[in-house]
Amino acid sequence: MMKIWTAPEFTKRNRGRMGMMGSIATCLGVAFAIVGIIGDVRLTVIGLYPTDWFLLAIASLIFSLCCWLGWAVGIYLHAREKETETEDKDKGIPISQT
């Protein structure tokens, strides 16, 4: 099972999902921070204490960083693969022999 997660194909295949999760987590982190700021300025509890909103924002933004890192690695691996294919075509080497 671990071989599936560590293979480059897994990262290249799922880079779209990672980008979408990164976008959603970033937006949630910003929204949590805004709710925390509003609750702190108004001195009210909006569901949670302002400190809890800030902690949720930090956790969400850290998660989004992990997603964006996975997305960037997937893009890099895809670009490297395409570059290798282009070099092989220029050399006249069939791709099946590499």
Q: What is the pLDDT at residue 5? A: 59
pTM over the 0.75 mark:
yes
Q: What is the pLDDT at residue 83? A: 85
Q: What is the pLDDT at residue 11? A: 74
In a domain, 35, yes or no: yes
3-state secondary structure of 48: strand
Count of domains observed in the chain: 1
The letter for the amino acid at 83 is: E
In a domain, 7, yes or no: no
Q: 47 lies in which domain range? A: 14-92
In a domain, 97, yes or no: no
Contact 19, 9 (CB under 8 A): no
In a domain, 8, yes or no: no
Tens-of-pLDDT digits for all 98 residues of the chain? 556 656 677 777 788 888 899 999 999 999 999 999 999 999 999 999 999 999 999 999 999 999 999 888 888 888 888 888 887 777 766 665 55
In a domain, 33, yes or no: yes
